Amino acid sequence: MTFILDQIIAHKRRELAVKKQALPLEVLQQMPACTRPCYSLKQALLQPASSGIIAEHKRKSPSKGYFASALPLEQIVAGYAQYGAAAMSILTDMTFFGGASEDLLVARAQTSIPLLRKDFIIDAYQVYEARAMGADVILLIAECLEKHEIQSLSALAHELGMEVLMEVHSREQLDKLSSHIDLVGINNRDLRTFEVHLDRSFELVREISPAIPVVAESGIHHPQIIAALREAGCKGFLIGERFMHQPDPVSAFREFMQQLSQNPTHAQA
């Protein structure tokens, strides 16, 4: 792992120890959202008219600090859903990204599009927590987990009715794929330098079975990039900072979607 990931995971372990005391697993399992049917991200991305956009909400990042947006989460979620997001990614890490698990509950109350819980999931407790807070999909980062851990956590997610998106940063990490992985995310951001290399998505999508929808993550700032990525085989496009850097992310998203709709390759093939 990289230095920043080492820091994040070490902090996450300490955070989990506190959470498990404050909100025991038995209490999580009794929360109303645990019985709600989940929405499928995979199906949302494969719909013929899908935009493929997974719009992300995060308040800050380790490399850039807090973003410009001052809009409340409720308004952002409602706006993204209104203007055509296929799904939303909700950053729930508090220390490094300014999120909270409860953000999922807030988002869930605003929309019926699929919600991805984006966090550094390393423990079964977090999978139960994602379900209890209204997530439909969990993110598992291959760089943070051994193959057997990915198998165990993804199997649990399926047991609870959720889908799993496994995030990779290299060709070698594709070896950690298991039968419980529903989607693969290719993160174009180098976690050591935070530089973005879009070539990574174009290179790795060719290594993944067409039966598994691929989501390109990070560095997608223009609709033209989406057209090229879609042509290469990507079905989803996770975009966060492009909108959250703006004082009004909803207006920025609406404008982006208008530009995307004018592109002849907008519709799924």
Residues recognised as catalytic: 56, 58, 118, 167, 187, 217-218
Rounded to whole angstroms, the Cα distance separating 131 from 127 reads 6
Instruction: Render the burial of 125-156: b for 16+ CB within 10 Å, e for the rest.
Output: bbbbbbbbbbbbbbbbbbbbbeeebbbbbbeb
Residue 55 is classified by DSSP as E
Instruction: Render the burial of 6-22: b for 16+ CB within 10 Å, e for the rest.
Output: eebbeebeebeeebeee
Residue 37 is classified by DSSP as P
